[in-house]
Amino acid sequence: MQATVKLFKRRNATIFLNKVEYTGFLIGSLPSRFAYINHETKESEGISSWFNYKGWTFIRKDDLQTGW
C-alpha cells in the first residue's frame, strides 16, 4: 500500500495522509496534552501518536478533539 500525502496550502499546518486529516505544529507550539502527563494528583496519557515531516510535528485531528 502506498501512502499519499496531500498538503493543504494554508500555512502547511494541515495535511491529508490516506484521507485522514493531520494538524501540524512547530516544536514550540505543541499542545499541552502532547506525550505523557504526570500531575501531582492524577496521571493521564496525553497524545502519544504523531509523526514528523519537514520540520512539523503532525497529530491526527481526531486525537486533538478527544480527551479533556
Mean pLDDT, rounded, of the chain: 77
Alpha helices (H) along the chain = 61-65
pLDDT reported for residue 34: 80
Per the structure, the count of domains in the chain is: 1
Percent of the chain past pLDDT 90, that is, above it, reads 1
Overall pTM surpassing 0.75 (yes/no): no
Longest dimension (CA), the chain: 44
Whole domain around residue 25: which residue ranges?
Answer: 5-65
Considering only CA atoms, which of 26, 68, 27 is closest in space to residue 47?
Answer: 68
Residue range 39-58, pLDDT digits in tens: 677 766 778 888 988 888 99
Is the confidence at residue 29, as pLDDT, over 80? Answer: yes
Is the confidence at residue 2, as pLDDT, over 80? Answer: no
